Amino acid sequence: MFVVHEDDFTYRFGESGPKYLMKGPRSNFALVRFLPGEDFPAHYHNEMEENFYILEGEIDIVVDGHVNHLQPGQMIHIEPGEVHYCINRSDAPIKMVSTLAPYRESDKVTVENPVL
């Protein structure tokens, strides 16, 4: 058992990106923040499934070419092998929770020229 506070961690890109509160041993838990216009490259996972739960703002999460426009209170589940891409097309920041399981040190495959 352990307890952490999000203020003790930083976002990967300074003011945005993922902020991992836990990485392993069985799952990852992160807060993700995107500023207006920011995105994250299209990718998929071979073994990990991923969930996003929207806390603040609106975001488009494209899964296998299908655009899912998500708002606070909504969650999306992404299966292994599904190509996904996140973009904040709004004029306000987005904040969401991301979980990945089962934990794998390296399981992300970037996709060149995906159908978005």
pLDDT in tens, 39-97: 988 999 999 999 999 999 999 999 999 999 999 999 999 999 999 999 999 999 999 99
Residue 111 CA to residue 7 CA, distance in Å, equals 32
**Structural contact between residues 102 and 27, judged by C-beta atoms closer than 8 angstroms:** yes
In CATH, which of 2.60.120.10, 3.40.50.970, 2.40.30.10, 3.30.450.40 is domain 6-97+104-110?
A: 2.60.120.10
Question: For the CA atoms of 58, 91, 65, 27, what is the dihedral angle to 10 degrees?
Answer: -50
Backbone angles phi, psi at 7, to 5 degrees: -65, -15
**Structural contact between residues 17 and 87, judged by C-beta atoms closer than 8 angstroms:** no
pTM for this structure? 0.94
